[in-house]
Each structure stands twice: as structure tokens, then as C-alpha cells.
Amino acid sequence: MNEGLTCSDPIPISIGLGSLSVPGTTIGGLNLHVTEPTSGSTCWNTDGPERVYAVTVQATGTLTAWLPTATTTFQSALFRASTCEAAGQSSCLDNWGAPDERGGELVSFAVTGGETYYFIVDGVAGDQGDYVLELDLSTGTDCSDPIPITIEGQGPIYLSSPILDFADHTSCESGENGGPEVVYEVTVTETDAYTFFMSSGYGGLGKIAYVRSTCDVATTELACEHPEIFDVPLIAGQTVYVFFDRELASSEAEGFTDPYVSGTIIHYY
């Protein structure tokens, strides 16, 4: 049985559409001396022992992985990559502002069915302990399968999702609309203002972002913005639905390139 000590023996996981909880520990692991990425990273001094996972997805969609604060007993960091040995050159998140600085890391990104992606659970400043790695594979095409995002602490959350359904299901209550959309189910753990920023889309094409308190009820809209950056005050424990909605380029609509949306959720005190 693989122990996840190195990239040569990652713990294998297979996931279809839905969620999966993976308990684990870095106690007894090795320090792989993973190099933090030089950009797009919040990781520093990740020199604790690690545990390595190889996650194979059974469908194309958005894969989300996070370390809840309630089940993380140490100051953690989370790497992800399409090639294990390249984890240091891909995404790494070390959340901050969570209770005792433990957990809260979350990564969410577009994946292709049948492919394998690697996660490394690491410790900051030599720390180690137990955790539950939560995994979810969603399509985000509509309110029946939104992409779940839980915000704990202050680390920025970077989002990247494929547009799988070219039909235009929703628009702002005002009638403003971009085109097909991706839907996120966002839950916050602290009362504060949260910034939503949609960054993807070809230049000159229509794009818009909006937030609802009830996913399929347009009259519960809390914000609708074009340009696509805005602050929304939310209450601890509240769940809202964020729509990234944009027009397709002709090359995307005709199948020559794969359409996607990307953005960031920011929570700073």
C-alpha cells in the first residue's frame, strides 16, 4: 500500500462527480523540501513533513480541495500540480487568519476526465499533525451542481473552471448578461465584506458577475456588476451563490479552444 511519503508512492484516490473526505496525517511523513512557487503563492517556509496524493478524476469539471480548520491540527499548507515533481512550480496556498493558523487552505481548478492531479499536504515551520483533505468534483453548470467554496481565514482563493454548458441559463435581475455561466456555492465563516473579482474572458467580450442568496431565484440578487469586481457584506455561516457569466469567443463556440472562467475571492480584515 502506498504511504504517500514521496512522489514515487503517492496515495491513489479516484473521484467521480460528488464529494469525498480523506483523513490523513503528516506525522511520520518525510520532508520533501518542496520549493514554493515564485509567483501566485502564499507559501513560505514549508519545511514540515508531507503527505502526497494522486487524485484521478472520472469526469471533466472543477476539482476543489481544502483543509477545513475544524479537522486540521497543525499549521498546514497545500500544494497542487499536474505532475508531482513539479508541485513546487504550481499552486501552493498557506492560509492565514484562521484559528491558531491551522487549516483553511483551498484550491479549485479546471480538470479533465481521466487525468491525474497531485496534492501535497505540507507543514509550515516544521509543524505536523492530522487533517481531513476534502475533495469535490463538480460541473458548476447550473444550480443543480454548483462548485462548493468555503472561506476560512484571509488567504485569497483563486478560481478556475471550464464552461461545460454553452446554454445561457441565468442573467442578472436587471437583465444584464454575458453568456454561459459557472456557478459557485460560497460559504463564509466570518461576518465581513468579501471581494469577488472575475478575471477571465477575451478582451472586448461581454462578461458579468453576480451574487444571489438563493441560487435559482433571481429576486434574491445581492449584487450584479460590470466591470466584474465588487464587495459584498456577508454574515458568518451565510451561503451565497456566485455566477461568473461571459460571452464566448467564436473559437470557443466552434470548439477550437476550451472556454473557462477564472477569478479571485479576497477576504482581508
* Ramachandran angles phi, psi of 155, nearest 5°: -60, 140
Q: Do domains 11-137 and 140-266 have the same CATH topology?
A: yes
Mean pLDDT along residues 106-126: 94
pLDDT at 57: 98
pLDDT at 65: 98
Q: Is 238 exposed, middle or buried (0-12, 13-18, 19+ CB in 10 A)?
A: middle
Contact yes or no for 79/35 (Cβ under 8 A): no
The DSSP bridge partners found for residue 207 are: 246
* Among the listed residues 179, 167, 98, the one whose alpha carbon sits nearest the alpha carbon of residue 139: 167
pLDDT at 34: 60
**H-helix or E-strand spanning residue 85:** none
Taking the CA atoms of residue 165, residue 168, residue 172 and residue 178 in that order, the dihedral angle to the nearest 10 degrees is 90
**3-state SS track over 17-60:** CEEEEEEEECCCCECCCCCCCCCCECCCCCCCCEEEEEEEECCC
Domain 11-137 carries which CATH code?
Answer: 2.60.120
The model's confidence at residue 188, banded by pLDDT at 50, 70 and 90, is very high
Mean pLDDT along residues 9-14: 96
pTM of the predicted model as reported, rounded to 2 decimal places? 0.92
Residues in the chain: 269
pLDDT tens digit sequence for 120-161: 999 998 999 999 999 999 999 999 999 999 999 887 888 999
The domain ranges of the chain are 11-137, 140-266
Class of domain 140-266: mainly beta
pLDDT tens digit sequence for 23-61: 999 999 998 766 655 555 667 778 899 999 999 999 999
* CA distances, 221 to each of 25, 46, 71, 108, 225 (Å): 41, 41, 33, 24, 11
* CA distances, 122 to each of 128, 223, 250 (Å): 8, 37, 42
